[in-house]
């Protein structure tokens, strides 16, 4: 099974700053089949990015994804207060589907 | 607008079977794929399994011996049964949509729509 390790565990930034979240896979993710989700407190996850770099419907363009192989990145170009959440990566290149442990983004 | 809603007992006794239903409203089960995912503070998010509207199901090998996912198209619902539960099965259980196109014959294996989740506690 592919293990996804996310870093940092917590990111504390001010509004307007750039956030860079990392997701590292224990083996290469086939065809860059990697998604990112945002989970706000008390809510279900929301799909942000699929296929490593494609934005889901309705997702602002300040969210972008990149990477391939074992290293993937979610970038929030200009943080807004509503971006307070935990962000998860998920690989779907191999079964079983697996998720990372999450990065918590705090707004200063 | 398509919505998903989980329902079922919030408390299950150890060794018994956990049963949940996901009701799909605002659209049909027939075009996409559907999944169950659970979340715990300790183990994070875990994919349980997938199903299509004709009942072909795929399970996480770690849970396969205890899991059954089924579909009821007449009610626009799909369900989860997890047998022989222990405290380790205490989690928030989500149902979700895989936006793959059933009629084209492939699943995307990620999730673009989620239910609000339901907490199931396993305790005597």
Which site among B6, B98, B109, B113 would you substitute to test the A interface, given the most A Cβ atoms closer than 10 Å to its Cβ? B109
Tell me what pLDDT residue A62 has. Answer: 97
Q: Is the pLDDT of residue B41 over 90?
A: no
Tell me what pLDDT residue B86 has. Answer: 97
Q: Is the pLDDT of residue B84 over 90?
A: yes
Tell me what pLDDT residue B29 has. Answer: 87
Q: What percent of chain A has pLDDT over 90?
A: 98
CB contact under 8 A, B60 and A96: yes
d(CA A58, nearest CA chain B) in Å: 11
Contact list in B for residue A100 (CB cut-off 8 A) is 44
pLDDT digits (tens, 9 = 90+) for A47-69: 999 999 999 999 999 999 999 99
Q: Is the dihedral of CA B75, B105, B27, A64 positive or negative?
A: positive
Q: What percent of chain B has pLDDT over 70?
A: 100
Burial of A97 (0-12, 13-18, 19+ CB in 10 A): buried
Please state, in angstroms and rounded to a whole number, the distance separating the CA atoms of residues A105 and A45.
14
Q: Is the pLDDT of residue B31 over 90?
A: no
Tell me what pLDDT residue B69 has. Answer: 97
Contacts of B17 (CB under 8 A, 6+ apart): B81, B82, B83, B84, B85
Please state, in angstroms and rounded to a whole number, the distance separating the CA atoms of residues A30 and B32.
22
In contact, A87 and A21? CB cutoff 8 Å:
yes
Say yes or no: B94 contacts chain A, CB-CB below 8 A.
yes
Q: What percent of chain A has pLDDT over 70?
A: 100
Contact list in A for residue B62 (CB cut-off 8 A) is 96
Say yes or no: A41 contacts chain B, CB-CB below 8 A.
no
Contact list in A for residue B111 (CB cut-off 8 A) is 35, 37, 45, 47, 90
Tell me what pLDDT residue B103 has. Answer: 81
Mean pLDDT, rounded, for A31-46: 96
pLDDT digits (tens, 9 = 90+) for A65-94: 999 999 999 999 999 999 999 999 999 999
Task: Name the DSSP class of B120.
Answer: E
| Other CB atoms within 10 Å distance of the CB of residue A69 | 12
Q: Measuring CA to CA, which residue among A4, A6, A63, A62 is closest to residue A33?
A: A4
In contact, B18 and B120? CB cutoff 8 Å:
yes
Nearest CA in chain A to B43: A101
């Amino acid at each position: 099974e592919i293990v996804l390790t996310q870093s940092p565990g917590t990111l504390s930034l001010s509004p307007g700053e750039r956030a860079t979240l990392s997701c590292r896979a224990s083996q290469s993710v086939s065809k860059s089949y990697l998604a990112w989700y945002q989970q706000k407190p008390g809510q279900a996850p929301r799909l942000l990015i699929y296929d490593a770099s494609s934005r889901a419907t309705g997702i602002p363009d300040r969210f972008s994804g990149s990477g391939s192989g074992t290293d993937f990145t979610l970038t929030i170009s200009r943080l807004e207060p509503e971006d307070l959440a935990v962000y998860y990566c998920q690989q779907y290149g191999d079964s079983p589907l697996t998720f990372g442990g999450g990065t918590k983004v705090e707004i200063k | 607008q398509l919505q998903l809603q989980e329902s079922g007992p919030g408390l299950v006794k150890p060794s018994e079977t956990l049963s949940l239903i996901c009701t799909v409203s605002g659209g049909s089960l027939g075009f996409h794929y559907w999944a169950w995912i659970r979340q715990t503070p300790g183990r994070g998010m875990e994919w349980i399994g997938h199903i299509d509207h004709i009942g072909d199901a795929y399970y996480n090998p770690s849970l396969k011996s205890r899991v059954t996912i089924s579909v009821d198209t007449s009610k626009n619902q799909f369900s989860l049964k997890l047998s022989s539960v222990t405290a380790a099965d205490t989690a928030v259980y989500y149902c979700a949509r895989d936006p793959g196109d059933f009629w084209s014959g492939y699943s995307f294996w990620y999730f673009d729509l989620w239910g609000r989740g339901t907490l199931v506690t396993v305790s005597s």
